[in-house]
Amino acid sequence: MAETRIRFGILGCANIARKVSRAMLLSPNTTISAIGSRSLDKATAFASENHFPESTKVYGSYDAVLEDPDVDAIYIPLPTSLHLRWAVLAAEKKKHVLLEKPLALNVGELDTILKACESSGVQFMDGTMWMHHPRTAKMKEVHSTFTYVGEGDFQKNDVRVNPNLDSLGALGDTGWYSIRAILWAHGYELPKTVIALRDPEYNESGVILSCGASLKWEDNGKVATFYCSFLSNLCMDIIALGTKGSIRVHDFVIPFNEKVGPFYAVANSKWAELSLGCEPEPSEFRIPTIFPQEALMVQEFARLVEGIRSGEAKPDKKWSIISRKTQVVIDAVIASINNETLIRFGILGCANIARKVSRAMLLSPNTTISAIGSRSLDKATAFASENHFPESTKVYGSYDAVLDDPDVDAVYIPLPTSLHLRWAVLAAEKKKHVLLEKPLALNVGELDTILKACESSGVQFMDGTMWMHHPRTAKMKEVHSTFTYVGEGDFQKNDVRVNPNLDSLGALGDAGWYSIRAILWAHDYELPKTVTALRDPEYNESGVILSCGASLKWEDNGKVATFYCSFLSNLCMDIIALGTKGNLRVHDFVIPFKEKVGHFYAVANSKWAELSLGCEPEPSEFQMPTVLPQEALMVQEFARLVDGIRIGKKKPEKKWPIISRKTQVVIDAVIASIKNGFEPIEIVY
């Protein structure tokens, strides 16, 4: 009797789903029955671009896929933080589960998923494709002939990986493959101990960029080491060394050629006479396959599901067991590296900007969201759900309840500016660290009250100026410090992302805040001598500033800066710094066009070329990569400071309150200059 095709439903449109959905179409015993995304348009486009069958149902939600009676199994390539929720729901709906790696943020979460699958009698498998290539079985056959002492080494850069899918960095991606390879070679026997190698590398946000570990087994002399990295060139090598032989493969994770998997092995090798080489030479094994390994994976998954569906078999626990063992080792590596406790955020309100910053809290490896409060409980509940807050997040119908929650370490306040004074002071009095959205206050007097409350309570203060934390910012400072500076900061920004009802400062409080902060940053936070507002600011009918600008002048050093900010112009985030020895330009200073890389341009000692045919030298482009977006770097840095205070090793860092206050002082001076007929206002600090 012909085998019935297993009908897959896919949750989300992740890039890896392109590869695996192709595999479902290549495998003779699977098909794609449905796909769901939070965006119906995105799901429709994904199905079309990846040539899904015309019969594939397209949904605008994940729930709809789980409810579809024509779906037998679910493939889940969602961000790791969502795996627990959706894998458990799929199991409860009697859908078999193919879960993309990393499977979970920790073993506790994975145990919950596996228990749900076992309770529902559904098949579980993780998406480690290379396990299913026929080469893998042949390699096991070859290497089983000698005593094994293994080293799994997967060094891989960030080209194929979106670390936003998990908070484990390189360890969760390339490290997963390394650890699985080691366990595979050891017959899935867990090591006795796991010791992380010293000096892992991190980006500025604390995400692991490279690390390694040593695994040791008891009483059998077996040891394994691995190294994983986003910084090195692409490398997928594994070397297994034993007393009677060795085996090597150079493309273990994804074969260079999807139709053949080569590896090399040699037994009883020794130095040739006069050490002119080794003998015998390694033998090359070339294992052909009709289907790529990902198609073999989904084919095997479908075979298992078909056996369950026909009543001939029960779920094969092999896959759950080896998945859990892999996660156990990952957890052990993390425990060996760092025992840092997560900083637990409470969020006051459901402002639009809180969507971006709450995502950052989930991306940052040392923060989580413990609570959210709104004057509307329904609104807070919806916000938490729509933005994929952890299931453990407490939802309150008031701001006070968040401040009274003992499980909240720090409070993020994106409320209207007119409410900042009250709630920031209350938060500080409740011993909650304060991350305050800009504009910080209606004037310096209010901000001083906030800062005094934070200082008196010994809590950390930071404002929400994200670009300060992008690695590009430090590189730009390095470049521009080489020439005498006369700066112009120019940020022109429309109202697409901003609701001016949040404060009474209008464009000055939003786009102007970024402009002023950029100018102060470029001047090492030295305040100007005078601030003079540009004439003819524009207002709406209620008197809120829609566009304005100002000129800032320093004393005795020839430095001057101008800025213009607007809700009326098209989106513009340019800054130009001009000096006697060079200039610097950046076109996306506030929010980079691409969150994974920040560009800027600089040139030193430029001059007209002969006959004025151009300028020489041409500007150099600098590209500064980052694993996490700048808002996640911001909350990571805030959490690092809070953790130092919490464990008693450090006091609140005063840098951030100082530069926040200086920014507010300049904003106040611009307003004063407008009110005083555009006269220069002398800065008093």
pLDDT of residue 495: 33
pLDDT at position 40: 97
Judged against a pLDDT cut of 60, whether residue 267 lies above it is answered with yes
Asked if 563 and 666 sit in the same domain, the reply is yes
Whether residue 248 is contained in a domain is answered as yes
Instruction: Tell which wins on pLDDT, 140 or 190.
Output: 190
Question: 350 and 239, same structural domain?
Answer: no
Residue 648 burial (10 A CB sphere; 0-12, 13-18, 19+): exposed
pTM of the prediction?
0.45
Q: Which amino acid is at 17?
A: A
What pLDDT, on the 0 to 100 scale, is given for residue 163? Answer: 42
Q: Give the pLDDT confidence score for residue 278 in this predicted structure.
A: 60
Mean pLDDT across the chain, nearest whole number? 80
pLDDT of residue 394: 96
Query: Residue 671 is part of a domain; what is its CATH number?
Result: 3.30.360.10
Looking at the domain assignment, is residue 332 inside a domain?
no
Q: 324 lies in a domain?
A: no
Tokens of 142: 């070859």
Do 305 and 276 belong together in one domain?
no
pLDDT of 22 reads 87
Q: Could you tell me whether strands 73-76 and 96-99 are parallel, antiparallel, or unpaired per DSSP bridges?
A: parallel
Task: Identify the pLDDT of residue 503.
Answer: 52
Which range, of 13-17, 126-130, 352-356, 480-484, averages the lowest pLDDT?
480-484
Q: Over the stretch 17-34, which tens digit does the pLDDT of each residue have?
A: 988 898 888 888 889 999
More confident residue, 675 or 101: 675
Alpha helices in 231-341 (DSSP H): 293-309, 318-337
The answer to whether residue 207 sits within a structural domain is yes
228 occurs within a structural domain: yes
Looking at the structure, tell me whether residues 264 and 308 fall in a common domain.
no
At 157 the pLDDT is 36
In a domain, 322, yes or no: no
| Of 438, 465, 492, the domain-final residue | 465
Looking at residues 623-630, what average pLDDT do you find? 80
Contacts for 344 with CB less than 8 Å, ≥ 6 apart = 367, 368, 369, 370, 371, 407, 408, 409, 410
Kindly state whether residues 625 and 495 are assigned to the same domain. Answer: yes
Percent of the chain scored above 70 by pLDDT?
Answer: 83
Residues 206 and 155 grouped into a single domain: yes
pLDDT at 614: 56
Average pLDDT rounded to a whole number, residues 432-461: 91
For the segment 107-134, the average pLDDT, to the nearest whole number, is 80
pLDDT band at residue 139 under the 50/70/90 scheme: low
Residue 187 to residues 181, 226, 383, 623, Cα–Cα distance (Å): 10, 17, 46, 44
Q: Are residues 379 and 441 in the same domain?
A: yes
Query: How many other C-beta atoms lie within 10 A of the C-beta of residue 276?
Result: 8
Scan for tokens 């995502």, then name that residue: 359
One domain, residues 507 and 461:
no
Q: Higher confidence at residue 379 or residue 146?
A: 379
Question: How would residue 309 be classed by pLDDT, with cut points 50, 70 and 90?
Answer: confident
Residue 473 counted as domain residue: yes
pLDDT single digits (tens) 477-505: 665 454 333 223 232 233 322 334 445 67
Residue 640 has pLDDT above 50, yes or no: yes
Question: What is d(CA 379, CA 534) in angstroms, rounded to the nearest whole number?
Answer: 41
Out of 465, 487, 522, pick the residue that ends a domain.
Answer: 465
Choice between 251 and 112, residue whose per-residue pLDDT is larger: 112
pLDDT at residue 481, as a whole number: 54
Alpha-carbon distances, residue 227 vs 173, 178, 338, 590 (angstroms): 12, 8, 17, 36
377, 260: one domain: no
More confidently predicted of 207 and 287: 287
At 327-353, the pLDDT tens digits run: 889 888 887 775 445 789 999 999 988
Whether residues 521 and 436 share a domain: the answer is no
Domain count of the fold of the chain: 4
Question: How confident is the model at residue 685, as a pLDDT?
Answer: 80
Domain of residue 226 covers 134-288
Q: Are residues 222 and 245 in the same domain?
A: yes
Q: Are 398 and 309 part of one and the same domain?
A: no
Mean pLDDT computed over 33-46: 97
Picking from 431, 465, 499, the residue at the C-terminal end of a domain is: 465
Q: What is the CATH number of the domain that holds 21?
A: 3.40.50.720
Nearest to 317 by CA among 27, 136, 121: 121
Q: Tell me, yes or no, whether 334 lies in a domain.
A: no
Q: How much of the chain, in percent, has pLDDT values that exceed 90? A: 27
| pLDDT at position 548 over 60 | yes
Query: How sure is the predictor about 647, in pLDDT bands with cuts at 50, 70 and 90?
Result: confident
Average pLDDT estimate for 554-558:
76
Give the mean pLDDT of 257-278: 69
Strands 367-373 and 394-396: parallel
